[in-house]
Chains A and B, each alone.
Chain A
Amino acid sequence: MDVRREIVFPAEPSEVWEALTEPERLEDWFATEVELEPRPGGRGVFRWGNGEERSASVEEVDPERHLALRWEDDGGEVVFTLEPVPEGTRLVVVESSPEWSTAFELRALATACAVA
């Protein structure tokens, strides 16, 4: 089960990449306090003002093109893909949850069996 969003920023891929990978930039939009080592196997720790904290591991890094993180709590994955376009940079973000994927497939299967 995937959540997918796509947006075009009027900025160079290098600027968008910085917003996604530099801790102080991530603190502008993602969490209140961020630690992140943007290299394969690196660790990320994200803290929010309400006391919530989540950890992730960095799975794939291709600078200015591709970044994949995996949440340590629910095993979900977040994948960012950047692409230069005439208007700037297209960013596609896909977050997937293995937990809900299974839940949805089981539900669909149960429904199909109930109908058959």
Chain B
Amino acid sequence: MRSRVDAVFQALADPHRRFVLETLAGRGSATVTELAAALPVTRQAVAKHLGTLRAAELVEPTRAGREIRYSLSPEPLGDALDWMERVGSEWDERLAAIRKHLS
């Protein structure tokens, strides 16, 4: 248990990794390429940060066709991210309803 807590703390200590988490929380999911476009670091550096976040169980990869999308695994981060998940799924539902009414 202690090692898991340490892994989360270590993962959050880096500003680029915090930016990656905020971006994933805001967008729902993103690829390494999309994250690298939003950060002043290389694709390789982003991949390494994702490895650290994955070891802390803060992100999880999903294969979608030929690409791997990363999404947040918010349980370790608590209430703030619960809010983002809730608001995000509300918008997913609302946008689907607009689409239905526009077609």
B98 neighbours in A (Cβ, 8 Å) = 7, 9, 16, 19, 28-29, 91
Is B79 a contact of A103 with CB atoms below 8 Å?
yes
Stretch from B9-17, B43-51, B62-70 at the A interface: B9-17
Is B99 a contact of A7 with CB atoms below 8 Å?
yes
How many B residues have CB within 8 A of the partner chain?
29
Contact of A5 among B28, B79, B97, B103 (CB under 8 A): B28
What 1/0 flags go to A103-116 for Cβ under 8 Å of B? 11001100110111
Q: Judge whether B18 is part of the interface by a CB distance below 8 angstroms.
A: yes
Q: Within the assembled complex, what's the spacing in Å between the Cα atoms of A30 and B25? A: 22
Residues of A within 8 A of B (CB): 1-5, 7, 9-11, 15-16, 19, 25, 28-30, 91, 93-95, 97, 100, 103-104, 107-108, 111-112, 114-116
